[in-house]
Amino acid sequence: MGEDVKTAFGAGVGNLLPTCFHGELHRFCPTLHEGQVGLSSWGQKASGSPHRQPAHNETDCSWAPFDQDNYQQLLGALDYSFLCAYAIGMYLSGIIGERLPIRYYLTFGMLASGAFTALFGFGYFYNIHSFGFYVVTQIINGLVQTTGWPSVVTCLGNWFGKGRRGLIMGVWNSHTSVGNILGSLIAGYWVSTCWGLSFIVPGVIVAAMGIVCFLFLIEHPKDIACSSSLAAEFDITLEAMEITEMGKM
């Protein structure tokens, strides 16, 4: 049971924090409502921070090129780039993931995801205003984040029999909601003072969890002195119980 918990933990962190990234993008240029403190508070940062020009739209977002009236189209293009890359990459990752060691593949995906998430935030500190830079970062990030789902599903399938997969998959899949919550909290904390940290901090956390997966994730019971017969015996017991119940009917 201890190894099962360790496996579920290692697989869970493999997909918990990458989901933070998608929610952060939508806080990049929040709308400024009456009485609400917007991105104008950036000016309170320490000296030496990137110079900001007055905003040209109602969001008070003055980070070029998102400071024009077409900021919604630009942010939509970033979102579209990420989602398209994610959709295409999911198919490719399923094929590639079946042919590579899960632990290495998942670790690579998390390290790369953390790196490109942080790279998006470095655009703030290095005063990058190229729209192409942010689009390319989004595309690559969408591709590398697809390594998570196929890898973890395969790993969970190796460890847990059919009788327990419903419960385990239900618990594991909560990472989507938890990750979105964490992403919103992290992005909301820094978005009005230093939005680059809204991407760099989650990127560092994701990369750190990638190292945790590399150290603790066990792909299959046969990789240690543990037999998968327990899962098989559990399934057989459940099937016997179902047959008995059917016989009573």
**pLDDT tens digits for range 45-86:** 333 444 444 445 555 577 888 888 888 999 999 999 999 999
Neighbours of 53 (CB within 10 A): 9
pLDDT higher at 73 or 163: 73
User: Within a domain: residue 226?
Assistant: no
Neighbours of 48 (CB within 10 A): 5
> Quick one: pLDDT band at residue 227, thresholds 50, 70, 90?
low
pLDDT at 24 over 90: no
Residue carrying structure tokens 């077409």: 70
pLDDT at 39 over 60: no
Task: Report whether 6 contacts 216 (CB < 8 A).
Answer: yes
pLDDT, one tens digit per residue, over 206-218 is: 999 999 999 999 9
Task: Report whether 43 contacts 205 (CB < 8 A).
Answer: no
Q: Is the bond leading into 50 cis (omega within 30 degrees of zero)?
A: no
pLDDT higher at 52 or 192: 192
User: Within a domain: residue 81?
Assistant: yes
User: Within a domain: residue 50?
Assistant: no
> Quick one: pLDDT band at residue 154, thresholds 50, 70, 90?
confident
**Mean pLDDT across the chain, nearest whole number?**
76
pLDDT at 237 over 90: no
Q: How many structural domains are present in the chain?
A: 1
* Burial class of 138 by CB neighbour count within 10 A (0 to 12, 13 to 18, 19+): buried
Which pLDDT belongs to residue 245?
56
User: Within a domain: residue 62?
Assistant: no
Question: Which CATH number fits the domain that encloses residue 160?
Answer: 1.20.1250.20
Parent domain of 189? 72-219
User: Within a domain: residue 132?
Assistant: yes
pLDDT at 145 over 80: yes
Which pLDDT belongs to residue 223?
82
Q: What is the mean pLDDT of residues 195-204?
A: 94
User: Within a domain: residue 227?
Assistant: no
Which pLDDT belongs to residue 41?
36
User: Within a domain: residue 144?
Assistant: yes
Task: Report whether 161 contacts 231 (CB < 8 A).
Answer: yes
User: Within a domain: residue 162?
Assistant: yes
User: Using CA atoms, how far apart are residues 65 and 72, in angstroms rounded to an integer?
Assistant: 11
